[in-house]
């Protein structure tokens, strides 16, 4: 789990505004949000927004970028996935469908891999799909957490690492984030807050990493579903994100390790200290490049919190939810465009530029060795 060794990592954040919002069509009546992002093999930028129809029925769309790299416009180009599989459909109230995708190109598989939440008859589950071109997608199925010792149940926030890593047991593995869920956090946000904060931090909803042996996947890609190990990697902190945290963007390689932008959740209070809802903010996490269950850094304070009208007022107020990351060809060094859900209603973009990192004693000693 955490072995923080980066004492500080400077970053600057520039808001670049709304890039996609509902167009008035029924399929988008309850929001366009939480997109995945990918570059096609010829460098074209694609956005995969979650599009929500009335009754919380979700599809994963495709939107193509056009115009200047630093100010793209997005045109809808159909759907990547619509709810069709049995694990994406249900009759109960509360909705169903394909939610909150993250897309990673995996060179070893020579494929794009989409991790998404399939909301079906058993509740939210992690599902995967593959694509050769980023446009046509083939379902693999649900992630299988039935191996002994694993948490098997409601789960969300999956995003795949682009390269194999070493699992806690020393196995060469593909890895993906996930967040096993507690039913208590979905009952009544404010009523659940004191109960959750009374729990040990490691027992709250938090970022885990699941591991799948590479050898098995190279024999049969369907084995990507068969999780062998899982590790808790980011315990909810007291400074922020104390109620729960979870993955945001897929990780990308930087000099210090694996970089990702994650979300953390806290209670939102009025002037008298009464809880009036939840507040979703975003921060940075950096993992060890070989063994990502070791966390080298996490933001002591959010780098992005709800401030603008679009972030504070929407389908769910006070939400910034990072899910897509893009390294623009024209961007400065160590700069990334982060695409995120704004109050569960529309999609925004910020540019995050990393500065220098300062390592603590442990990392300095390891470097000397």
Q: What is the pLDDT along the chain (369 residues), one digit of tens a residue?
A: 567 799 999 999 999 999 999 999 999 999 999 999 999 999 999 999 999 999 999 999 999 999 999 999 999 999 999 999 999 999 988 999 999 999 999 999 999 999 999 999 999 999 999 999 999 999 999 999 999 999 999 999 999 999 999 999 999 999 999 999 987 644 467 888 888 999 999 999 999 999 999 999 999 999 999 999 999 999 998 899 999 999 999 999 999 999 999 999 999 888 888 888 999 999 999 999 999 999 999 999 999 999 999 999 999 999 999 999 999 999 999 999 999 999 999 999 999 999 999 987 543 333 322
- Using the CB atoms, write b or e for 308-343: b if 16+ within 10 Å: eebbbebbbbbbbbbbbbbeeeeeeeebbbbbbbbb
Alpha helices in the chain (DSSP H): 189-197, 214-219, 309-312, 361-368
**Domain definitions of the chain by residue range:** 6-368
State how far the Cα of 141 lies from the Cα of 118, in Å rounded to an integer. Answer: 9
Would strands 96-106 and 57-66 be described as parallel, antiparallel, or unpaired?
parallel
Check: CB of residue 323 under 8 Å from CB of residue 341. Answer: yes
Phi, psi of 291 (to 5 degrees): -125, 85
Name the 3-class secondary structure at 237.
coil
Residue whose tokens read 């024209």: 330
CATH number of 6-368: 2.115.10.20
């Amino acid at each position: 789990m955490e072995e923080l060794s980066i004492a500080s990592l400077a970053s600057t954040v520039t808001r670049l505004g709304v890039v996609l919002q509902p167009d008035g069509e029924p399929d988008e009546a309850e929001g366009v949000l939480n997109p995945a992002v990918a570059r096609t093999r010829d460098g074209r930028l694609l956005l995969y927004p979650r599009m929500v129809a009335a009754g919380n029925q979700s599809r994963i769309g495709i939107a193509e970028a056009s115009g200047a790299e630093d100010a793209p416009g997005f045109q809808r180009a159909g759907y990547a996935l619509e709810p069709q599989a049995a694990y994406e459909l249900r009759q109960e109230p509360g909705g169903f469908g394909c939610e909150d995708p993250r897309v990673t190109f995996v060179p070893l598989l020579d494929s794009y891999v989409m991790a998404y939440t399939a909301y079906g008859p058993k509740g939210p589950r992690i599902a995967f799909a593959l694509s050769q071109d980023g446009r046509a997608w083939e379902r693999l199925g649900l992630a299988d957490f039935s191996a002994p010792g694993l948490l098997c149940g409601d789960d969300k926030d999956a995003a795949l690492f682009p390269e194999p890593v070493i699992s806690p047991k020393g196995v060469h593995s593909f890895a993906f984030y996930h967040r096993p869920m507690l039913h208590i956090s979905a009952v009544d946000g404010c009523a659940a807050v004191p109960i959750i904060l009374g729990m040990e931090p490691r027992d709250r909803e938090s970022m885990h990493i699941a591991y799948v042996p590479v050898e098995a996947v190279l024999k049969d890609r369907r084995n990507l579903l068969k999780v062998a190990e899982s590790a808790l990697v980011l315990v909810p902190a007291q400074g922020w994100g104390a109620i729960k945290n979870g993955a945001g963007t897929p990780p990308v390689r930087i000099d210090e390790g694996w970089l990702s932008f994650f979300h953390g959740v806290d209670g939102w209070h009025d002037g008298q200290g009464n809880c009036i809802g939840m507040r979703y903010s975003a921060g940075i996490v950096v993992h060890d490049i070989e063994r990502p269950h070791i966390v080298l850094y996490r933001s002591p304070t959010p780098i992005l919190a709800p401030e603008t009208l679009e972030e504070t007022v929407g389908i769910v107020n006070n939400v910034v939810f990072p899910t897509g990351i893009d390294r623009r060809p024209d961007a400065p060094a160590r700069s990334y465009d982060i695409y995120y859900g704004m109050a569960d209603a529309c999609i925004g973009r910020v540019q995050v530029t990393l500065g220098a990192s300062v390592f603590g004693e442990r990392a300095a000693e390891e470097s000397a060795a």
